[in-house]
Amino acid sequence: MPRFSFNRLLLCYICTLSYVFSQTQKGNITTGASADVASTFVAATKYNNSYFLLSVNPGLTYFVINDLGVGGTLNFTMRIDRREQITSFISEVGPMLRYYFSKNRKSNKKGFAQLHGGYVTSTFLRKGETSGREGWFIGAMLGFAYFINTNISLETSLGYNFNKQKDWETTHIPLKVGFNIFLSTQKAKSNPFQTD
């Protein structure tokens, strides 16, 4: 009897591990957000300028195959260019690809790489006057995800972002901190202890 109980407990534990660390399998959905706060130096067209930036980045991803997610991303940014005394409100929207990788598939620690790009629009405020621009952006980032439980990961990443709007372009290297919520679409795995 003790042997049977131990074996059953071990089996349940293995099933739980497979479930816990299979968040990036095909068919699952993830949603979350990250934030970037920076005060740095940027090289822009025709002049150099220092700035303060606050950016929030929600997104939604569907895993088309194991570890590879396809989705969309939004990026809302407030930026203050100190020398030019311009406050900018920037909105970016577009598709993204994200790939998770690790030495051990069942590990709760995974690295990831992401590519994204799309349409960007900006509103500029300067000395009471308002203007706007639109254009495109492209970016990439490398990051690390730590899964604190079956559904939530804490993430940090370092990236590169290029933004082109008419005669105005910027390059930014964001350092982001955020989280993701993983939702399984497979009913069979919603309860690893369920028996027929």
pLDDT score recorded for residue 196:
38
pLDDT score recorded for residue 20:
44
Judge whether residue 4 has pLDDT over 80.
no
Q: Kindly provide the residue ranges of all beta strands, DSSP E only, lying in 5-106, ordered along the sequence.
A: 29-44, 47-65, 68-81, 86-101
**pTM, whole model, 2 decimals?**
0.74
Judge whether residue 117 has pLDDT over 50.
yes
Question: Which helix (H) or strand (E) covers residue 164, if one does?
Answer: strand 152-165
Q: Which amino acid, one-letter code, is at 68? A: L
Mean per-residue pLDDT over the chain, rounded: 80
pLDDT score recorded for residue 99:
96
Given a contact cutoff of 8 angstroms between Cβ atoms, the answer to whether 69 and 30 are in contact is: yes
Tell me the pLDDT tens digit for each residue of 128-182. Answer: 889 899 999 999 999 999 999 888 999 999 999 998 988 878 888 889 999 999 9
- 25/66 Cα distance (integer angstroms): 4
- 67/102 Cα distance (integer angstroms): 10
Q: How many C-beta atoms surround the C-beta of residue 114 within 10 A?
A: 21
pLDDT score recorded for residue 83:
74
Q: Give the end-to-end CA distance of the chain in Å, rounded to a whole number.
A: 22
Q: How many C-beta atoms surround the C-beta of residue 163 within 10 A?
A: 22
